[in-house]
Structure 1
Amino acid sequence: MVTRREWKGVVPVIDKAAFEALKFEGDPLADAVIADLVATGRVGLVNEVLEHFRANDQPIPEQLPESVREFLVATDNPPAWVDPDRVARAYEFFVDDGVHVASVLTFGSMVNCYAQPRASRVLTLTHGLNQPHRRLSETSQFVVDMMGRDAFGSGGRFVPTIQKTRLIHAAVRHFLTASGRWDVAADGVPVCRQDMAGTLLIFSIQVIEGMRRIGISVTEQEAEDYYYVWRATGDMLGIPVDAMPESLHDARELSATVVQAAYGPSPDGVVLTRHLLDLYEKLFPGKVFDGIVAAMVRQVVDPEVADWMQVPNSHAWNRVVDAGTRLVRALERSEDNSALATTILDRAGALLFGGSVRTLTNGQSTTLEIPADLRERWEATGRSPLPTEGKPPAEAR
């Protein structure tokens, strides 16, 4: 397993070989369920029933097969070590900065995911190259469910989201392996535990880094609490708890020396990134502002990753975004004493996140449902990306 110990006089290390071994590990609990459903021809039935299974307090539907019911019972509880106070602090951080988290997720984290050649290959073989809205919708919904008040407890809706995600991953592993288009011996298990751990680090550690790159202030306590919730989520997703370092410092080291070190160019990643950029250029009218989307991506991700993914490099737009970042930093410094600065920062983030919602729902079957408590807090402070309760913008319907 991945461990890192710090003792006086001992150089801390990460067990990279153990992390590499996770490439050949799936999710035995979920994999067994999918194998049963495929063998008995009940995948479609279960999909229909689980579509309406959305809340932590909701009784498990009786019409589900026994294998699914047993899985839902076995995976229902968060880790015993989860501290509700830390989860509550992470929720308050997301209330304040969730729109900025979402912006970095959509403009940066997706490109970092595409910089993982094996993961990009899985996406190509399962979702196709021209469906970035689906990946964005699933990721956005996962994160807002995770950051709702008491996401793991009574009144929350995150536990079914996790459980269904595990089953989706297991289905991808089953059908992709059975298709003969995936070489497990050479490439490991598709959607393996290593992939999941890497993705969690991209969505936690690297999101915080991306926020700071665009000038958003994140305290170390906020960063620690945000990562803490992701680590708990990883445990519930079936990732061995010691594969996700306990400390923020160790998680940063794992992200830099193992996850980011594995980034590289691939034809799949390039095409996926191009479709992502095409999707987000719809945020801006006409063609005049097309270059700003690529410039925003380049501000958030590492320059080498942007080059590998062939993100267009406009020096003019890069200067515009860089100037915007300096302005954000100046506003952040004055935020405690300036209601105007707070309003500008929050509305900018809400506009980006709102544009993401409009893009995802425009002509697509996907919608983004923001938990009621989070939506109410955002609406009270003018941060909500949705104009009406629980509904996408009018132009998206």
Structure 2
Amino acid sequence: MTEPTAADPRLRADPLADDTVARIFGDWNDGAARLSRWEAIAHVERALAGWDTNGALDGWTADGSTPAPIVAALEDYVLQACRLPAWCDAGKIGCAEAVFADIGMLAPTLLACASLPESAVMVDPLGQQPEDRLRAAASLLLAALVRGGLLDASGAGVAQVLKLRLTNALIRHLIVRGNPAEALAHGAAIPALLPEGADDYRAFFARGWDVRANGLPRNQEELACTLLTLHYVFLRSLRRLGLGLKEQEEGAWLHAWNVVGHLLGIEEALLAATMQDAAALFARLQRAARAVARARYLAPGGKRSVPGYGKMTDPRPALAAALMRVVGDEIAPRSLTLFPVLLARRLCGPATGRILGLDGQVTSFSRALFALGMGTARCVDTAARLLCPGLSTRRLAARILGYRLAQRFLTDPVRPLDLPDALLRQVEAALRESDADPAAPGWVNAIERRCRPQRGGRSAHEAAAC
């Protein structure tokens, strides 16, 4: 394995957020009593709970119970991090919001069957369960692109991204057990410990990490890969379904997500402005991630190597299988539960499918049947649009699955999304407004209503089978 260099994006993180966390955890010289890291995190989480809208960040300060050094660190962070980039274009963001309003019910399907699988190839999920990964991606998408999310004081996009950025820095600091800059200086492997408790933060602190082999947690390369799966892979998937957007709309979508990337602390050199640039960047980062994986994981079918070689079994196929099970559970009838796997293979491509073990989850017959079905759907859609421009069987299938996933993961009253109440009400309203596809004829919407779960709490398995 090639030794990482100073130019390696895996060794670059987020100086602003990392310095903020270092101040929060650091030695205080004002006479205040030193807190444990867990007490400091508790204060930070209480402070972040107040970041419920973009407007709440304007002149924000913590309550009187928060130690002054933590308040000062967070105030400086908000002041610097909430600035939109000079190149931000309100018109393009408005266009992206309009696109999302139109295709919103497709989003859960594309996240589950394209964005998250591609992300699993290139990004260490740090132990997140498939449901949590899907909910986190959907939360970011909703916060950013629901009307006014990035530009209005009543929106929550900027506030949510800044919370995520600081949380990434907290996780990075805990995993390397100190300031990431110091971890880079010595580059030693950080041994695993017995967890001090059951919560996620204590698990991150105890997990162990090898900076030389893995780079920094949540580094620039991983952040860029994640962003690419939310804008480039998303748009590419629409194209592969025959539902591609206009060039202007694609540009607006990329622009809005690049604004999110800027707020998230991603370097501008890793923000792609066009689909061509995004494709090139994605391919380059894919190659880098696969090189790291070859050095880290055993070849498929290989036996566990001796400890001296340090290789381990590739966890990505198991992660993908778990994600596909979660999505498949929302399919009725049960005979169609392989549809998400087959769709993921098509949207992600054969190379990603092999890495994630998707080929092994389906038979050759099911793959051939799916290919025949997609080809037939393409022919039917092409011919039918001459008489009914809004008809798309592929859009219908993706909307049905998207509605089921939205019901399960986005509007579950037992486990609501980690979003402000006002934004959750917007999500509920958007879901109601998406009951019918405005581009489709009435009889197609009737089929969709028949095939999706009824609102009001019934599970997907109780819904009428289509």
Into which bin does the TM-score normalised by the smaller protein fall?
Answer: 0.7 to 0.9
2:126 corresponds in structure 1 to 123
Tell whether the 8 Å contact from 1:33 to 1:71 is kept in structure 2 after alignment.
yes
1:313 corresponds in structure 2 to 362
Aligned residues: 368
2:218 corresponds in structure 1 to 191
Tell whether the 8 Å contact from 2:90 to 2:151 is kept in structure 1 after alignment.
no
Counterparts of 1:1-397 in structure 2 under 5 Å?
A: 21-39=8-26, 40=35, 41-59=39-57, 60-63=60-63, 65-116=71-122, 119-120=123-124, 122-124=125-127, 127=128, 131-154=129-152, 155-178=154-177, 180=191, 181-259=208-286, 262-263=289-290, 266=297, 267-285=314-332, 287-311=334-358, 312-326=361-375, 327=377, 330-331=380-381, 338=388, 341=391, 347-360=396-409, 365-367=415-417, 376=429, 379-380=432-433, 382-383=435-436, 394-395=457-458
CA offsets, 1:53-79, max 9 Å, x none? 221112535325221122122211211
- Bigger relative contact order, structure 1 or 2 (CA pairs below 8 A, ≥6 apart): 1
Name whichever of 17-26 and 29-38 sits farther off.
Answer: 17-26
CA–CA separation in structure 1 for the residues paired with 2:339 and 2:400: 15
CA spacing shift, 1:156–1:324, aligned 2, 3 Å? farther
- Quote how far apart the aligned CAs of 1:345 are: 5.9
CA offsets, 1:156-176, max 9 Å, x none? 110111101101111111111
- Quote how far apart the aligned CAs of 1:379 are: 3.6
- Quote how far apart the aligned CAs of 1:375 are: 5.6
CA spacing shift, 1:90–1:336, aligned 2, 3 Å? farther
CA–CA separation in structure 2 for the residues paired with 1:247 and 1:340: 27
CA–CA separation in structure 2 for the residues paired with 1:76 and 1:317: 49
- Quote how far apart the aligned CAs of 1:214 are: 2.2
Name whichever of 350-359 and 17-26 sits farther off.
Answer: 17-26
SS class of match (2:213):
helix
**Amino acid of the residue matched to residue 162 of structure 1?**
V
CA offsets, 1:179-229, max 9 Å, x none? 631111232111101111121112211221122222223222222111111
CA spacing shift, 1:367–1:328, aligned 2, 3 Å? farther
**Amino acid of the residue matched to residue 353 of structure 2?**
A
User: TM-score with structure 2 length normalisation?
Assistant: 0.70
- Quote how far apart the aligned CAs of 1:352 are: 1.7
**Amino acid of the residue matched to residue 21 of structure 1?**
D
User: TM-score with structure 1 length normalisation?
Assistant: 0.81
- Quote how far apart the aligned CAs of 1:123 are: 1.7
Name whichever of 293-302 and 30-39 sits farther off.
Answer: 30-39
CA–CA separation in structure 1 for the residues paired with 2:270 and 2:5: 9
- Quote how far apart the aligned CAs of 1:140 are: 0.6
Tell whether the 8 Å contact from 2:143 to 2:156 is kept in structure 1 after alignment.
yes
**Amino acid of the residue matched to residue 203 of structure 1?**
L
Tell whether the 8 Å contact from 2:243 to 2:395 is kept in structure 1 after alignment.
no
CA offsets, 1:296-337, max 9 Å, x none? 211111112111211113333334433443425743775596
CA spacing shift, 1:246–1:19, aligned 2, 3 Å? farther
CA–CA separation in structure 2 for the residues paired with 1:212 and 1:29: 37
Segments of 5+ residues of structure 1 without an aligned counterpart are 1-16, 387-391
CA–CA separation in structure 2 for the residues paired with 1:332 and 1:72: 50
Name whichever of 92-101 and 262-271 sits farther off.
Answer: 262-271
Tell whether the 8 Å contact from 1:133 to 1:279 is kept in structure 2 after alignment.
yes
Tell whether the 8 Å contact from 2:130 to 2:322 is kept in structure 1 after alignment.
yes
CA offsets, 1:257-302, max 9 Å, x none? 3335634575221221121112112112475333222112111111
CA–CA separation in structure 2 for the residues paired with 1:335 and 1:368: 40
Tell whether the 8 Å contact from 1:114 to 1:272 is kept in structure 2 after alignment.
yes
CA–CA separation in structure 2 for the residues paired with 1:328 and 1:394: 34
What root-mean-square deviation, in Å, do the aligned CA atoms of Structure 1 and Structure 2 show? 3.3
Task: Flag the structure with larger Rg.
Answer: 2
Tell whether the 8 Å contact from 1:145 to 1:371 is kept in structure 2 after alignment.
no
SS class of match (1:123):
coil
Tell whether the 8 Å contact from 1:112 to 1:305 is kept in structure 2 after alignment.
yes
**Amino acid of the residue matched to residue 160 of structure 2?**
T
CA spacing shift, 1:92–1:163, aligned 2, 3 Å? same
